[in-house]
Structure formats: C-alpha cells, structure tokens
Amino acid sequence: MNKSTGNGVSDPSEVRGFLGGDARAIAPLILGAVLTHRSDAGPVSVRLTEVEAYMGPRDSEHPDPGSHTFGGPTARNSPMFGPPGFLYVYFTYGMHYCANIVCGADGAPSALLLRAGEIVEGEELAAVRRPASKAHKDLASGPARLASALGLTTADTGRDALAEPFSLWLPGTPVAAVASGPRVGVAGPGGTTEYPWRFWIEDDPTVSRYKAARPRNRSTAG
C-alpha cells in the first residue's frame, strides 16, 4: 500500500516526481489539486482551478520572454532553478504577491503560476485576509488573491510546498473539462495564442476573467 489518500495522491515523493516533468504537460493535470497552508492562524486549503506554465531560458524551441527566468538567474528567481515542488513567490505592482510551484528537474527552470482556485478549507480565515472579497468564488479568483487567501508572501519563496506547513494533494483522476488559452498580462510573443499555456477548469466560477495585457499610462508624461 502506498500513502495515497482515497483516489488522490498525497505522498510528497510521489507528488514531487509528478512535478519533475514539463510544466506545460503538468498544468492540465494539476487542476483540481488542493494546496494547503497551515499557519499559526489556522489552515487554508485551495482547490486549483487555473494555472499558467512559465518555461526557462534553456528551451530554445519555445523561448519564453514572459518568464522571470528569461534573463537568466537572479536573486529573486533562484527557486525556479532548484528542484520541483518548491514555492516561487514574488512581489509585484508594489502591493501584491503571486505564487508559483516549481516544476521540472533541478536546474531546468519552469513553474506553474497559481492563478485561481476555490477555498475548500479555512474560508473564515481566507475572508479575513481578503476583506475586499464579497463572494466565496472571489476569495482566490486571481493570482494575487490566491496568494493573499493562503497567506503567502516573499517570506515563503523557496519553501517546500510538499512539507509542513504546506501540503499538496493531487486528484486520482484528471479533471475532465480543461480549457487553455493565452496567458494573462503577458506582453509580446509570450502573450499570443502561439503560447496557450494558461489552463483552467471549464465553466468553473472561480476562474479569473481573461484580460489582455494593456499598456500602462505614463503618469509623468510631458
């Protein structure tokens, strides 16, 4: 007997083996997985409904300008160059955090950006962390929302998502209805339909609404 729970897989070494492959292939299979963070304030669990794959600079067939690793290793992106199953959390727009799960072999950087999910445990705590959210389905319906609901910050970057205080449960059978399309907020080649590396559960209400990348205003124009 292995340590599988019900129809799913919770054994960390099994899960890590699963994450050691191509992020684009893993993405549709990780939908429906449940990521749990047990903080001092209590546990919060999210059922993943939307992810995006980001590849490394070594993939010459599919160079990925949208990836944080495109320019090579830096202090910030170093977790992506490590083994699979670890968190890569970054700070953006001066106020938001976004969380990835590192995929691929050690040294072959790729990751899945956790774009949306449904809170399946710890809804009360998630709601405290997300005071602006007025509906259950919006508690984690966006990458920064999901990170906030789980209480993730850059303090968590580089930490193992498969060990305490985190855990990741994989469904035994893949989600049936998976859709894919261009990644959100990615400008340039990486944002075109040539790179349909955003995957989501079809018709799931927690999936974030698609918004194309928009040029930003220059506040100091003139």
Partner DNA sequence: CTCCGGATCCTCT
Partner DNA sequence: GAGGATCCGGAGG
- In terms of Cβ atoms closer than 10 Å to its own Cβ (0-12, 13-18, 19+), residue 185 is middle
Nearer CB in complex with DNA: 42/191: 191
Residue that has been written with the tokens 């809804």 in this structure: 123
49 contacts DNA (rule: CB under 7 A): no
Residue type, 40: D
Q: Which one, 40 or 93, has the nearer CB to DNA?
A: 93
Residue 130 as a binder of DNA (CB under 7 A): the answer is yes
- Residue 92 in tokens: 């953006």
3-state secondary structure of 71: coil
Inter-axis angle of helices 23-30 and 12-19, nearest 10: 130
The answer to the question of residue 217 lying near DNA (CB under 7 A) is yes
If one asks whether residue 219 binds DNA (CB under 7 A), the answer comes out as yes
Residue 9, classified by CB atoms within 10 Å of its CB into exposed (0-12), middle (13-18) or buried (19+), is: buried
Verify binding: residue 68, DNA, rule CB under 7 A.
Answer: yes
Q: Is residue 222 near DNA by the rule CB under 7 A?
A: no
Q: Which is nearer to DNA, 9 or 89 (CB)?
A: 89
| Other residues' Cβ atoms within 10 Å of the Cβ of residue 220 | 5
Considering only residues 143-182, where is the footprint of DNA by CB under 7 A? 143-146, 154
Rounded to whole angstroms, the Cα distance separating 75 from 163 reads 23
Q: How far is the CB of 213 from DNA (least distance, A)?
A: 7
The CB-of-199 to DNA minimum distance in angstroms stands at 13
The reply to whether 218 sits near DNA by the rule CB under 7 A is yes
H/E segment holding residue 114 = strand 110-121
Say if CB 208 and CB 142 are below 8 A apart: yes
What is the pattern of x (binds DNA, CB under 7 A) and - over residues 88-127?
A: x-xxxxxxx-x-x----------x-x--------------
Q: Does 84 bind DNA (CB under 7 A)?
A: no
Q: Does 197 bind DNA (CB under 7 A)?
A: no
Options 6-14, 32-40, 63-71, 168-176: segment touching DNA (CB under 7 A): 63-71
If one asks whether residue 42 binds DNA (CB under 7 A), the answer comes out as no
Tell me how far apart the alpha carbons of residues 213 and 103 are, in angstroms, rounded to a whole number. 25
Intra-chain end-to-end CA distance of the chain, in Å: 69
Instruction: By CB under 7 A, name the binding residues for DNA.
Output: 52, 54, 66-69, 71-72, 74-77, 80, 88, 90-96, 98, 100, 111, 113, 130, 132-133, 138, 142-146, 154, 183-187, 208-209, 213, 216-220
